[in-house]
């Protein structure tokens, strides 16, 4: 099994498959060819239950090469750094902590937004019944 299968399941919100792939040993922190992790795909897909599950598995909430290069304005994979962790590893302890805190804050905000959307959908569903 590959990281691509896990990422697809995460993006589609298929929690059962995500659990199966994680329990089979696929590295939940491994980025795909686009530098995206299962957590990123689940978040991008708005899959709250998958995001919560992945976070519960002690996923690494570190900045990725893809994000660092996006901040530098590097678009193509060919122009990206060859060493995935060079930029992150060169940060001070304080810098790494800040990156992790920012990522954690973004994820918490996204979860809160998804919870709000879910509440609105439930409200709309209840209103449509009456």
What's the mean per-residue pLDDT of the chain? 77
- What is the total count of domains within the chain? 1
Evaluate if pTM is beyond 0.75: no
CATH number for the domain including 48? 1.25.40.20
- For 79-87, what is the mean pLDDT? 44
Which of 107, 56, 63, 54 shows the shortest CA–CA distance to 81? 63
Helix/strand/coil (H, E, C) string of the chain?
CCHHHHHHHHHHCCHHHHHHHHHCCCCCCCCCCCCCCHHHHHHHCCCHHHHHHHHHCCCCCCCCHHHHHHHHCCCCHHHCCCCCCHHHHCCCHHHHHHHHHHHHHHHHHHHHHHHHHHHHHHHHHHHHHC
Band of pLDDT at residue 88, cut at 50, 70 and 90: low
Structural domain of 27: 3-129
Model confidence over 7-53: pLDDT tens digits? 999 999 999 999 999 999 998 888 888 778 898 889 888 889 999 89
Band of pLDDT at residue 71, cut at 50, 70 and 90: very low
């Amino acid at each position: 099994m590959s990281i691509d299968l896990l990422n697809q399941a995460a993006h589609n919100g298929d929690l059962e498959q995500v659990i199966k792939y994680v329990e089979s040993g696929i590295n939940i922190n491994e980025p795909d060819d686009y530098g995206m992790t299962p957590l990123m795909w689940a978040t991008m897909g708005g899959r709250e239950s998958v995001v919560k599950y992945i976070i519960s598995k002690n996923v690494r909430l570190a900045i990725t090469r893809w994000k660092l290069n996006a901040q530098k304005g590097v678009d193509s994979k060919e122009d990206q750094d060859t060493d995935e962790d060079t930029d992150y590893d060169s940060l001070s302890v304080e810098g790494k902590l800040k990156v992790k805190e920012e990522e954690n804050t973004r994820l918490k905000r996204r979860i809160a937004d998804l919870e709000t959307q879910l509440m609105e959908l439930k409200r709309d569903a209840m209103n449509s019944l009456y």
